[in-house]
Every structure is written in C-alpha cells, then in structure tokens.
Amino acid sequence: MNLDAVRTFVAVADVGQFQEAAANLSITQQAVSKRVAGLEKDLGVRLFTRTARGAKLTIDGQAFLPHARDLLQAEERAAASVRPGSRALRVDVIGRRLAPADLMRGFHRAHPGTPLDVVTLFDADAAIAAVRSGTIDASFRALTLPARQLPDGVEAVRVLDEPIQLLTGPAHELAAARTVTPAQLAGHRIWMPGIVAGTEWAAYYDDLAAAFGLTIEVTGPDFGTEPLLDTIADSPALATFVGEQTSFVWPADHDLRRVPMHDPTPVYPHSLIWRGDNPHPALALLRDHLGSTHTGHSDAGTWTPKWAQ
C-alpha cells in the first residue's frame, strides 16, 4: 500500500478539505486528488464524498481511517528503529542466556522507559567493527587485545568478571562436590562443542586448559544448549563449563549440578565496548549503570588469561 497516499487520505480526513490538506502537505491540490483517487482504486471503494463544502468521509472511509492511522504509526516506529539519533539504544550481547544479557535485563529494570534493542553478533571482531561503524552503540565482549590497540575512537572498560562453574550430571564423579579446584579437573573430560576457533571465547578456554592441564573437547556438531544439557545429564564422564550468571532451564529429572571452582576461581572478563563520540543519550546512562553495579576486576583469588590482566 502506498503510504504517501495513506498519509494524504488522513490529512484530508483531518481537515475535510482537499485544498487545505494540500497546503499542509506542501503539495498541489491536484496531487492530493490523484493520491486519494489512486488509493480508492487500490481499495475498490470510495473514501470521500465530494461536496460544495469539502470532502466528507464515506462509511468505508470511516472504517478505513483508524487503520490508516495505525499504518502511519507503524511506519514511524519502523523508521525510528534505524534512524540515527532517534532509534533505541542498540547493544550487542554474546548470547541471550549469558551474563551480558543479564546485565542488560538489569539495566532495563532500572530504566524501563529507555528504548532498547538487544542483538547478537558472532565474535569480538564483528562487534568492534559494528561499534566503529555506528551500526550498534555498544557491545559486551572479552578483549584479547589491549584497549590501546582498539581502532581509533573505540573505547572499552571491564564491567564484569564472571566466575566459571563446572556443570555435571548426577552420575559424574564430581557431582556431589561442594567446590572443585581447576587442578582437580585434570584428566576429566570437559565437553564444549560450541567453541569456535579464532573467537575470544575460544582464546579464553584454550588458555584455561593450558594453565591447568585440562582437556576441553570441542568435537562433534553443536546442536545447541538443550542437546548439550541432555548429554551431560546422562553421562558419568562428561562435564562442561558455564558462567555463573548463565541462565539455563532444564527438566527436573536431569538433576544437573553447578559446582563452583575455587583456588583460584577462573573468571570470564566481560568488557563494554563503545565509540567515544557516540551521541546516543542512553549510552551514557548504560555506562553509569554498569559503573554502579559491576563486580570489579580480578584479584589474587581469581584467574584470567594474561591478555585480560
């Protein structure tokens, strides 16, 4: 449907005059008549009755008017979703069940009136490029390079050190443990089929495995979270790593166990990345919110890769 014609129809309906509607739209009266006639042809009905006093809505015109207004409102919402300076704050999170998504839910609860779009990009390189281009306003990522090596104008700050936990099924040897040390996991099979070589999360778990002599298996296709949890629940040998704030729901009969790790506690270093000259007003609001709620950087009781220290 031609939205210019719909907009013209609404303008005529509001003032009851073709000539006045033309003046309000900054077009000729002939153009108004042509647009309305084309809309009537498309719909197969008359929308106005022309009278000496102007234009009066027909019954069909009265029925169409509220829907026409809805169409124009939908057009405005669609344009605002991508228009620079007016669109919602657009933030990239690594996954909708992971800690950054939880941080954004907390931000939304604290600022429910702030328009927000949450998206997911593949890896840090894609996220940094999108921040630099202005396609997104901010991203939560682990940075494997120093902040000083970011592209010009792109800034970053650590906002969350998330503890990593061991997730096992009920038959696993460590299922009943209250805590484990990373060193205790040497010789156990840690299965993480979602790891993709070259990504920041692959770099993190590669360094974790090397630091403590662990075996992290990435073999087999990645069918998603539910098949992974099904396999872990049924296996006495396989376990996996999850973030403390990762949101999982599983059937009660899975009886999965989250086992904290200590001495030291591996933490995943989430940073917020943004472009310094981004003028979006909600970006400063997000940064202030994270500054008041973040957990702080790692200390002597935690472990992160050297590139995150």
In a domain, 284, yes or no: yes
Structural domain boundaries enclosing 166: 162-266
Question: Is the pLDDT at 104 greater than 90, yes or no?
Answer: yes
Element (H, E) at 309: none
Other beta carbons within 10 angstroms of residue 85's beta carbon come to 8
pLDDT band at 249 (very low <50, low <70, confident <90, very high): confident
Instruction: Kindly state whether residues 211 and 173 are assigned to the same domain.
Output: yes
From CA 143, how far away is CA 150, in angstroms rounded?
Answer: 9
Instruction: State mean pLDDT over 92-111.
Output: 92
Question: Is the pLDDT at 177 greater than 60, yes or no?
Answer: yes
Cα of 281 vs its chain's centroid, Å? 18
Instruction: Tell me what pLDDT residue 291 has.
Output: 87
In a domain, 305, yes or no: no
Question: Is the pLDDT at 166 greater than 90, yes or no?
Answer: yes
Length of the chain: 309
Q: Position of tokens 């997730």?
A: 167
In a domain, 309, yes or no: no
Q: Position of tokens 């166990």?
A: 257
Q: Which two tokens stand for residue 302?
A: 């935690």
Question: Is the pLDDT at 298 greater than 70, yes or no?
Answer: no
As a whole number, the mean pLDDT across the chain is 91
Instruction: State mean pLDDT over 256-264.
Output: 96
> Domains in the chain: how many in total?
3
Q: Position of tokens 């600022």?
A: 111
In a domain, 44, yes or no: yes
Instruction: State mean pLDDT over 76-98.
Output: 82
From CA 167, how far away is CA 270, in angstroms rounded?
Answer: 21
| pLDDT tens-place string over residues 15-71 | 899 999 999 899 999 999 999 999 999 999 999 998 877 899 999 999 999 999 999
In a domain, 120, yes or no: yes
Instruction: Kindly state whether residues 9 and 63 are assigned to the same domain.
Output: yes
Instruction: Kindly state whether residues 169 and 211 are assigned to the same domain.
Output: yes
Instruction: State mean pLDDT over 281-301.
Output: 79
In a domain, 235, yes or no: yes
What is the pTM (predicted TM-score) of this model? Answer: 0.72
Instruction: Tell me what pLDDT residue 296 has.
Output: 52
CATH code assigned at 212: 3.40.190.10
- Return the higher-pLDDT residue of 179 and 279: 179
Instruction: Tell me what pLDDT residue 49 has.
Output: 93
Question: Is the pLDDT at 297 greater than 80, yes or no?
Answer: no
